[in-house]
Structure 1
């Protein structure tokens, strides 16, 4: 019989907690137990884009339905592709770039007015999101992002969601800014 002792047990518990935390942060450990589920809103975030709605939609859809640029291939990996739905892995640097979080999501396209995302695997049990595109004035588009993020385990999950949601929304905000830049660049060259 092996005797670990108190410090050995503390070390093993600490290593287990650290491994669990890293697994959750990077998306390698997906926990979805359905107990004590709490849901919180994501967004809304609204971006006014000086480009036609079809152009904005194409910029969003291209990494999934078309040929992605090298930079986008490092961020998005299409695992399965259909005509209006893909299963994609999204790779996001976290912890100052020392780690990469990987989420797997379905992405559904309803041309030209919306793109819907549903989390399959990630740092929380469930996320649903939408990019809703409406025409504004003659050639502009309003892109509205909104969604919900769900966690399990009552207050502990609520605490975890409080850590994940701001980072999730910051990642989305950066993506929306990139969509705006690219759509407006394309519209200017039309």
Structure 2
């Protein structure tokens, strides 16, 4: 009888740990303990875009302030909208597409020079990011920078590194898409 009870306890602990991990990875169970907080930089990363700054700004803000494409509506849902800020849910495939991480972020717009993001709910306690748009002779330089914070000292650092790698890969894909669309619009216009 003792063996069965021990097996049930181990199975329950394992199930709880797995559920906690899945909740953390997907952002469904955010953890903000405020203990052993560590921060790390995101970026900086920049891309030169052969398009006017206003066009680049419009491309970045369209999912939040304009009409969304069907593909974008699968990635971003605007939950609340104000004149210069939105609250939006962002969905990102993780674990080879088997899971979807959902983050909720405020997105603030300072036309036409910057877009700021602040994490409200996600797989880490804090993230702040900026897309800064600088006029250049040949168009626009888009500079991404940010900071990601985790709790629990070394364990948090490990988790932050894992999250940051996926986060920055997602940002790199976004920058590439923004460049492609802004240059397409500039060529048409």
Which TM-score band (shorter chain)? over 0.9
Question: What per-residue deviation string (whole Å, max 9, x for no partner) do you get for residues 70-118 of structure 1?
Answer: 1111100000000110000000111111111000000000000000000
Name 1:134's counterpart in structure 2.
Answer: 134
User: Could you tell me how far 1:6 is from its partner in structure 2?
Assistant: 2.2
Question: What per-residue deviation string (whole Å, max 9, x for no partner) do you get for residues 42-90 of structure 1?
Answer: 0011001010000000000011011111111110000000011000000
SS in 1 for 2:32: coil
Pairing 1:31-110 to 2, within 5 Å after superposition:
31-110=31-110
Name 2:27's counterpart in structure 1.
Answer: 27
- Structure 1 outlier segments of 4+, above 6 Å: none
Pairing 1:138-157 to 2, within 5 Å after superposition:
139-157=138-156
SS in 1 for 2:67: coil
**5-14 vs 153-162, which deviates more?**
5-14
Name 2:182's counterpart in structure 1.
Answer: 183
Q: Provide TM-score, normalisation by structure 2.
A: 0.97
Measured in 2, the distance between the counterparts of 1:88 and 1:140 equals: 29
SS in 2 for 1:96: coil
Measured in 1, the distance between the counterparts of 2:43 and 2:174 equals: 14
Q: Provide TM-score, normalisation by structure 1.
A: 0.96
**169-178 vs 8-17, which deviates more?**
8-17
User: Could you tell me how far 1:3 is from its partner in structure 2?
Assistant: 8.5
SS in 1 for 2:96: helix
Count of equivalent residues? 188
Structure 2 stretches lacking a partner, 5+ long: none
Measured in 1, the distance between the counterparts of 2:114 and 2:105 equals: 16
Structure 1 stretches lacking a partner, 5+ long: none
Measured in 2, the distance between the counterparts of 1:17 and 1:35 equals: 20
